[in-house]
Structure 1
Amino acid sequence: MHLNQVPAIITGGGSGLGAATARTFAVAGARVAVLDRNKEAAKRVARETGGIGIEVDIADKNSVADAFKIVRQNLGVPRALVNCAGIGTANRILPRDGELPIDDFINTLNVNLTGSFITMSHAAQMMSDATPLNEDGERGVIINTSSVGYEDGQIGQCAYAASKGGIASMTLPAARELARIGVRVMAIAPGLFATAMTDTLPDDAREAIAANIPFPKRLGKAQEFADLARHIIENTMLNGTVIRLDGAVRLQAR
């Protein structure tokens, strides 16, 4: 599927991987909808990409439904969805302070996993009624963001690893189900990437993190994630699998 003039939704598009993906898709000619919990960030990236910015809570099905209606009214039926929205949490099952992190676990799954399912469901519903875009009968593509933590979860990452593992696990059954309407489903599992958080670290701290990456010995760039997302959209044979984008890193226990 080609992105030129294609309506595309990027959740978490106000910063990081999502913002890079929104910009890359816009360069390819897509009509971009930037969805983010931070309204100002969504509007800012939307201005940069010539798209629209919408405040949304992806864990809230009503908020998502409203956002998708706005996209359809302003850009048309979305043909691409890239879910970058999510939260990173770290909490032990048995914290030293004795305060059990059950609420944090539930919230992490609600945002990362349930949020991805909610947006995927709305996208699939809209795509199912659309006209196929090519001779293969393709109507759309959905890309969810997992993490290498789903396989290499570290101590304190039970909630995060579980949420990202759920995203990885639902990729194949979702692709099998949505094949009947010509919608592909993929997942990207990024490794250690440069983020707003790592930008604030001292140089020696960033170097220590990068030292664990076999090659290239550096943090991943948001643009590299965006480039892979674009390739997935454009390569119709990519379906039903999780791609690790990680420089061959395998996370240690801590």
Structure 2
Amino acid sequence: MTFENLRVDINDRIATVFIDRPKKLNALNRATIEELHKAFASLRDDADVSIIILTGSGEKAFVAGADISEFSEYSVEQGKDLAAKGQEQVFDYIANFPKPVIAAVNGFALGGGLELAMSAHFRIASDNARLGLPETSLGVIPGYGGTQRLPQLVGKGRAMEMIMTAGMIDAQTAKDYGLVNHVTTLEELLPLAEKLANKILNNSIQAISAAIEAVNANYKDGVDGFETEINNFGKAFGTEDFKEGTQAFLNKKKPNFN
């Protein structure tokens, strides 16, 4: 896959997607959002890829926000369309992606950048990371799921404070809040992401996909997460991975999930 604003490296079932606009601190524009959708759609169908690591190029930024120059003159309808299409093509798409997505947050993750990181299934951060939703300082609000996912991750009060003050928090505070799972040095960020990815690869990606769907169901209006869990639990009994996993356990062997 060749892109103007992304770089995709695939190695041993792990795809690493780099947002690659370092001169713009990897800011999201419409072209980058479209390319992210195309990249993830391709990786979804790639049988040789089981896990995705999402990160930014360079040392300064994961994604420093949206490219403000693109939408500063937008109308009400254009603004609504910007949010709706972005959520459909990328942010909700990644949140409901059937393969695990780990965000490796290097440097600034602001506005749409933090929203992108929050759409991943979990996050790790380098110790130079700074995270925040500064939209209210621009006279707008988060439009790519920030008002929904941030409270789920850090609680309503902390989310309200971050959104209202438009301030940034450092990586350790983000870890204390539950926004990121691990903090490490910039040099060790991708190695840690790969280590976690390889731990995941020991397990059934088919089962993990069903678990992702069940966990996400809890946060959807009108959906009974327990019912989704029950259904997906039952379906697992009909899979080859279930047979492999249980037989390996009973025979005291390591399972070999394809």
TM-score over 0.5 (shorter chain):
no
Larger Cα-atom Rg? 2
Higher relative contact order (CA 8 A, sep 6+): 1
Between Structure 1 and Structure 2, the one with more helix by share is 2
